[in-house]
Amino acid sequence: MTRRRLLSFLLVLNVAVLVSVLGYKTYLYLNAPASSALLVSQIERIEEATRQKEKLSIAVVGDANNSIGVFENEILPRINASDADFLVSAGNIVSGGGEDKYRAILGTLSHLQKPYLLTFAENEFEEFGGTRFYQRFGPYFYSVDFKAARLVFLDATGRTPTDWQERWLRDILWDQDERPVIILLGTPLVDPVPETLFEPDSGAWSEPGDRRRLLNLLQTLGTDVVVTAGASTYSNQVVDGIRHIITGGAGGLVLNDDSSFYHYLELTVGPDGTEVTLITVDTAPTPMARRIEGLWFYIYSLFYVGIWNFLLVFTGLVLLSVYLYNRLFRERRYYPSYETPEPIDLGRPMRIAMFSNTFLPFTGGVPVSVDRLKRGLEAQGHEVLLVCPAYDLAENEPGVLRVPTIFRSGAMIRLANPLHLRTWRTVRDFAPDVVHLHHPFWLGSLGLRMARALKVPTVFTYHTRLEHFAHMVPLPGAVFRNVVAHWIISRFANRCDRVIVPTPVTRDYIRLIGVDVPVDVQPTGVEMELYCDQPPSRLDDLRRTLNPDGRLLLITVARLSPEKNVAFILLGMARLKVDGAPRFRLLVLGDGEERGALEAMIEDLGLQDSVHMLGDVSADDVPAHLAISDIFVFASAAETQGMVVLEAMAAGLPVVAVNSSGIDAFVETRQTGYATPENLAIWTDSLHGLMVARAERKSMGAAAREAAAKYSIEAFSERVASIYQAAIATSSARGVAP
C-alpha cells in the first residue's frame, strides 16, 4: 500500500506539474512583453557611438542558440571587455521561436553592455517566431549605413519572397560608393571548408539556381563580405572575389574538434578593407574535456532555456507511460471474486460514518435514500453519523454533522468546506467501524481520505449517472460524457472496499468501466406504510383541491432540470390532447432551474388547463399526492434506480416510463406498467391505452404494489448492514483493524 501511495503521489505531482507548465505557457502567450522595434534604439546607439569613426569594430556571433554556458557566460563578458563597437548576430541567436526562447534571449542581451543588430534566421522563424521577432526587434530584412561600411541583413527563411529582396538590393546598392558592403543572412551561400559532420542549414537561396542568381547579383553590386550562420563551424574563403565567412560557434551543440568549436569573430571594417579575427572559446584543458564540456553546455542550455518545454514533454510521457502500463500490464479482474471473506459480526452495534454532498431539506433521490438508510440502520440499533452540507438549518439534528458551505448554486449544489476542522475532530472522536460514501467527489473524497487515515473500510454507493450532468460542468459536453464522468466513478470506486449499486444493469456498467472491487446490487427501500395507510379524509380534501372536476389524474415527481426530461412529458400531454384522450390533469411535483422554461412551454402548447406545476412538495405530502392519482408518468433516462418509480408502485400506481438503467429493474411491461423507448409516439400510445382501460390500470396497480413490497426499508437496511460487515471482513483480511 505504501508503494501504491507513493506512485499515486508521484502521479498527482506529475499532473500538477503538467497543469502548471501549461498554465505558465498560456500566461507567456497572453502576457507578452510590450517591448517593440528594439533594433531602432540599437541602431541609434550605434550611430551615436560611431559617428566620427573611420573604422568599425564588430563582434559577430552565429548560432548562439540561447546558450547560457557559452554565449551568456563566456562570449558576452569578453565582448563587453573588448573594443567592439557593437555586436551582430549572423542568425539563430535563439534556439527556437517560442515565447519562452524570446524572453530568455532578452534576458541574456540585458547582460550586454554594447548595442546589437540581429539577423532573422530559421530559429527566429520557427514555432511562429516570425511575429515575435517583428514585434520585438524589427523587420526581417533591412540595411544600416555607417561612415565606415554598409551592413545589409537579408531574410533567408522564405518568409520574405527572394525576388522582392533581390529587387530591393538593386535599389539600395546600385549607386554604392566605395564603402565596404557586408551582407548577413542565416544560411551559407557556399559550402564550408572544412566539411562539417552535419549538413549546413538550407534556406530560400539553397537551390543551385537560386544561389547562383544571388551570388551573381552580389558580385555585380560590389559586395565585399557575406557573413552567415547555419553551420557549427568556422569557414573563411574567397569565392569569385567575395569573402564568405561562416560562423556557428556561439552556442548549441558543437563537436569541440578542429572543425567544430566554440568561437566568435571580430570584424574590423575601414578604408583598408575588412579584417577578420577568430576568437576561440576554450575553457577545458584537453580535447576530451572540451567535448564533455560542449555536451554539458548544450544540455545545460536545454534545461535553463527549454525547461518548460522539457517538463511539458517529460510529464506528458510519464502520463502516457502510466496509461499504457495500466492498459497493458496491470492485472484486471473481469469477473467477480468468489473468495471474499465471510461477513464479520462485531458482536455489538456498528458505528457508521456517512458522507453525502446533498441531504434534506433538499429534495432528491440521494437525500431521500441516505435518510431512509440512516433511519433504517438506527432502527436496528447501529450508530450513524452523517456528514453533509449545511442548508441554513438552525435545529440540532441527532446523528447529523452539517458542514459550513463555501459555495452554493441554486437549491441543488452546495459545496461544503472540506478543510473544516470540526469535521475531522468529530469523525475521529466518533471512531467509525466503516465509512459509507454517497458521492465520488468533494465530501466523498474527504470521507475516503479520513477512512484511510483512520484505517477503516469504505463502501461507495453509485447513486448518480454523472454523464447526464455534463450541462453543469465547465468542460466540453462530449469530453465529460464520454471520458471524464466514467473516469471519476471508476477511479473512486476502485479505491473503496465495496460498491453498492441499485440495479443489475448499473452493476454491468460499473464492471464495464473497469471497477474490479466487489459490487453488491441493493435498491433503496421504500416505506410501504406511508403509501398504504393515507387517511381517507385527507385524500378527499386533496382531490377536491387539485382535481375538483374528477379528471383522470396523471402525476410525475422530478427535479426540474434537463436530465429529468420533463419537456418530453409535456410534449406527450400535447399529443394526448390532439389524439382525443380522456380528460386528464397532470400534476408535476418538483422544482429546479428549468421551471421557467417548462412553464413557457406549457403556455406555448396550450396546456394551462391540463398541467399543474406544484413546485417542491414536502416529502411527507408526496405519498398522499400519489395516492389520489391514477397513473405515474416518468421520462428521465438519467436514473440509476428511479426511486420515485418504486414509490409510485408502492402507492398502487401503474407506471409509464422511458426505459433506462433505473427503470427496467422495477417496471415490467404489461405487468406493472410500460417501459418504452424514448420515442414520443410509442410512449404516448402506451399511456393513452392505459388511460382508456380502467380494469388494466387497476390490475397493473395492484401488481406494482405487490412488487414494491419486496423493497422495504427494513430489508434494505439489513442488507446494507451485512455489506458493511463484508467490507470489515475484507479489510481485516488485509490486516487493517476494524
Q: Residue 300: give the domain boundaries.
A: 42-309
- Residue 573's Cβ-count burial label (10 Å; 0-12, 13-18, 19+) is buried
Q: What is the pLDDT, as a whole number, of residue 726? A: 92
Quote the pLDDT of residue 321.
Answer: 78
Residues 707 and 582 in one domain: yes
454-473 per-position pLDDT tens digit:
999 999 999 887 765 655 56
Q: pLDDT tens digits for 606-629? A: 999 999 999 988 888 999 999 999
User: Which run of H or of E encompasses 309?
Assistant: helix 307-328
Answer yes or no: do 517 and 535 share one domain. Answer: no
CATH number at residue 232: 3.60.21.10
Q: Which of 490, 521, 552 is the last residue of a domain?
A: 521
Q: Per DSSP, which regions of 121-169 are E strands?
A: 142-145, 150-153
Closest CA to 463 of 491, 487, 481, 444: 444
Q: Does 252 lie in the same domain as 147?
A: yes
Q: Write out residues in the chain with pLDDT < 50, as ranges.
A: 1, 737-738
Joined grid coordinates for residue 509:
456498467
Looking at residue 640, what is its pLDDT?
67
| Domains contained in the chain, number | 3
3-state helix, strand, coil in the chain (%, to 5): 45, 20, 40
Residues 274 and 364 reside in one and the same domain: no
Q: Is residue 726 part of a domain?
A: no
**Dist. CA 401–CA 416, nearest whole Å:** 11
Considering the domain architecture, whether residues 539 and 506 belong to the same structural domain is answered as no
Residue 371: closest CA among 83, 546, 634, 619: 619
Who contacts 446 (Cβ-Cβ below 8 Å, separation ≥6)? 355, 387, 418, 423
Q: Is residue 322 in a domain? A: no
- 158: alpha, beta or left, given left = phi > 0 and alpha = psi -120 to 50? left
Q: Does one domain contain both 67 and 109?
A: yes
Q: Domain boundary at 309, 343, 369, which?
A: 309
* Residue 458 burial (C-beta neighbours within 10 Å; 0-12, 13-18, 19+): buried
CATH number at residue 694: 3.40.50.2000
Those residues with Cβ within 8 angstroms of residue 108's Cβ, 6 or more apart along the chain or in another chain: 66, 68, 71, 72, 76
Last residue of a domain, one of 259, 276, 309: 309
Residues in the chain: 738
Count the Cβ atoms, other than its own, within 10 Å of residue 550.
10
Same domain, yes or no: 431 and 552: no
pLDDT digits (tens, 9 = 90+) for 33-81: 556 789 999 999 999 999 888 899 999 999 998 888 789 989 999 999 9
H helix count then E strand count, the chain: 25, 26
Q: CA-CA distance, 618 to 604, in Å (whole number)?
A: 29
Say whether both 155 and 231 belong to one domain: yes
What are the cell numbers at 163?
Answer: 525576388
DSSP β-bridge partners for residue 676: 658
Q: Which residue has the cell 520585438?
A: 136
In a domain, 430, yes or no: yes
Residue 518 has phi, psi (to 5 degrees) of: -60, 135
477 shares its domain with 532: no
What is the torsional sign of CA 727, 732, 736, 738? Answer: positive
pLDDT of residue 738: 47
**Residue 111, domain member (yes or no):** yes
Secondary structure class of 408 (helix, strand, coil): strand
Q: Per residue in 386-403, is it b (16+ CB within 10 Å) or e — as a string? A: bbbbebeeeeeeeebbbb
Nearest to 332 by CA among 516, 63, 143, 471: 516
- Asked whether residue 450 falls in the same domain as residue 502, the answer is yes
Residue 24: inside a domain = no
**The Cα angle at residue 20 between residues 482 and 103, in degrees rounded to 5:** 130
Bridge-based pairing of strands 273-280 and 263-270 is: antiparallel
Indicate whether 265 and 381 sit together in one domain: no
Q: How far apart are CA 565 and CA 601, in angstroms?
A: 13
Instruction: Give domain status of residue 325, yes or no.
Output: no
Residues paired with 416 in a beta bridge: 405
Q: 50 lies in a domain? A: yes
CA 453 to chain centroid, in Å, comes to 29
Q: Within a domain: residue 384?
A: yes
C-alpha 347/C-alpha 228 separation (Å) is 88
How far is residue 487's CA from residue 187's CA, in Å, rounded to a whole number? 51
Do 449 and 532 lie in one domain? The reply is no
